[in-house]
Amino acid sequence: MIESLYILIITAAACSILGVFLVLRRLSMVSDAISHSVLLGIVIGFFITRDLRSVWLIIAAALFGVFTTMAIEILIKSRRVGEDAAVGIIFPLFFSIAVILITKFARNVHLDTDMVLMGEVIVAPFNRIDILGLSFPKALVQMSVVLVLNIAFIILSFNRMKISTFDPVFSAVSGIGVGVLYYIFMGLVSLTCVAAFESVGAILAISFFIAPAASACLISKRLTTTLFLSVIYAIINSTFGYLLAIRYNISMSGMCACVSGITFFITVLCCKNGIITQEIDRVKKRIRFRNELLLLHIGNHGNASDMLNELGLGSITKHIGWNETVLKFHVNSLISKGYVYKANECGVYNLTDAGVEKVNNIKRLYGLVLGGKDLTKIDTSRDDYIIAIYECKERGETATNKLLCEMLNVKAASVTEMVKKLVESEDVYLENKDIYLTEKGRTAARTLLTKHRLWELFLVEHLGYSWQEVHADAEVLEHVTSENLKNRLNEFLHRPQHCPHGNEIYENHPDPDRLICLADMKAGDKGTIHKVWDDKKLLEYLEEKDLALNDEIEIIEIDNFDNSVLLKKKGKQVYIAGKAADRIMVSGR
């Protein structure tokens, strides 16, 4: 029984070495086509020799594999079908012809469809040959010879294969026989497929070619290391597949292929750029980012006269916009690292000497000290007023003292004083107590909102924020972002046109789309949700209603009493409250 394991290991190793180049050259499906179509070569060879043990079967099958590759190339070069279509035409044609011939003319021969499709590795050791007086399984000898041939080919043509794989244009210009090398390589793939028939069968051979190589390519970017890892994967897959097949009395080749798929998916999840690894990395970056944000906040107010009102747990929660549980987690993290301490006598948090040094390093790292000016200590209230007035205009409302009091949660006297300062600085002007932005104020507002929305997109795409929690942190960052940092962030995000809430990023999208408020639509109108107000409660409400940006909707009914809307999304009816409908913008169609 152990000889079956040896056969599986040698077969998987022989396939996996060539599989690396198949994956890198994007020929995985071509190898699948060959593994099926060589069957027709075996059938034709058998009809000629009438001997299943004849070496001519292997030769005929290998030649037919090369012929399959040439047929696919001819179809592709005709420019009438693509590569995927060419593969989908050729290999079912050849494979089906072979199956028809077997079932019609070879029913009483060992060459049956079960053996062809699934292989018979468990009985392969019974077919033996003698070498120098020693008895070996024939399949083991055949696959060992193929393995040696494959290794020899890789060693002798390694540089040429590497160049032709990664830079085919240069290899053609430099005089490397790309065509000859390609057909020799595909001939070896065909030969390996034929030799593997007895152990793994046609259908499962593709797993031995591709799965170990694909797993290795996810881990390493060096070709030699990838080849080595591919063989290691092949050995592991074969060994565990064999042991599990013995334990549960099931197909050995099938279990090996199953284990190959499982190890590949584990690699996809856990490799350097894997799904789980990336998620862990995002969580770490998010924790680091929030820790640094909290350090900056404490550093800004640590020596202020009002620190008793600014650095308590409740006041920090209010200013930064985090819930108390999240804030406690980050405060405890900073305390454990020695950056923050709690003054028990007054119940506020402040920086240790190490924390002060850390804050200074953060400011230098992010360019928050510009021309000797500390951007983190800028009074942001002026900017908040300008943005609030601009957002009133975006929503089709006119800014007034009362409305600004509600939006900014400040007293009327504070609004009056700030509006007076903005008039003096020529950022706003007044008309009958209504407040409007000047061109200077409008430019300032759009610049601030561009920074804000770029940070929102960055936090959502790269730090895993949800769209309803991103606003508070982006609001902190917009005030401390220099022009240089904004430009770099914009380029890093590939100059996006919209933030996660669908709002325009003005620098890249100077002319907003023509949008209509959901509440202003009529029954029967159709459209696509384009943007929504950047309001946490609204975003949570829309998430409950399973509505998101780019959803296509149709208005069924609008209640004239409270402007509530009954709409249809993908055949499902959704009721939207009037207050929410006023804050959703739709592009009509």
Length of the chain: 589
Provide the percentage of residues in the chain whose pLDDT is more than 70.
90
CB 582 within 8 A of CB 563: yes
**Domains of the chain, first to last:** 27-209 (no CATH), 278-377 (1.10.10.10), 383-493 (1.10.10.10), 516-588 (2.30.30.90)
pLDDT above 90: residue 240: yes
Does residue 23 surpass a pLDDT of 70? Answer: yes
The residue ranges of DSSP E strands in 502-560, in sequence order, are 516-517, 526-532, 552-558
The reply to whether the predicted model has a pTM over 0.75 is no
**Pairwise CA distance, residues 39 & 44, whole Å:** 9
CA angle 261, 146, 233 (to 5 degrees): 25
pLDDT digits (tens, 9 = 90+) for 392-423: 887 778 888 888 888 877 788 878 888 888 88
Is residue 30 within 8 Å of 50, Cβ to Cβ?
A: no
According to the model, what pLDDT value does residue 192 have? 86
Q: Is the pLDDT of residue 512 over 60?
A: no
- 3-state secondary structure string, 551-579? CEEEEEEECCCCCCEEEEECCEEEEECHH
Letter string b/e over residues 423-440, b meaning 16 or more CB atoms within 10 A of that residue's CB? eeeebbeeeeeebebeee
Evaluate if residue 110 carries a pLDDT over 70.
no
108 pLDDT exceeds 70?
Answer: no
Per-residue pLDDT, 56: 76
Pairwise pLDDT comparison (252 vs 247), residue with the higher score: 247
Residues in contact with 275: Cβ distance below 8 Å, sequence separation at least 6, in sequence order: 268, 269
Contact criterion met (CB below 8 Å) for 138 and 126: no
Q: Are 445 and 389 in contact (CB under 8 A)?
A: yes
Tell me which amino acid residue 514 is: R
Q: Find the mean pLDDT for residues 425-449.
A: 88
Q: What is the pLDDT of residues 183-226, one digit of tens each?
A: 888 888 888 887 887 667 666 778 889 999 999 999 998 999 99
Out of 143-152, 169-178, 421-430, 574-583, give the one with best mean pLDDT: 143-152
Q: What is the three-class DSSP state of 206?
A: helix
Query: At 415, which helix (H) or strand (E)?
Result: helix 412-424
Q: What are phi and psi of 174, to 5 degrees?
A: -80, 0
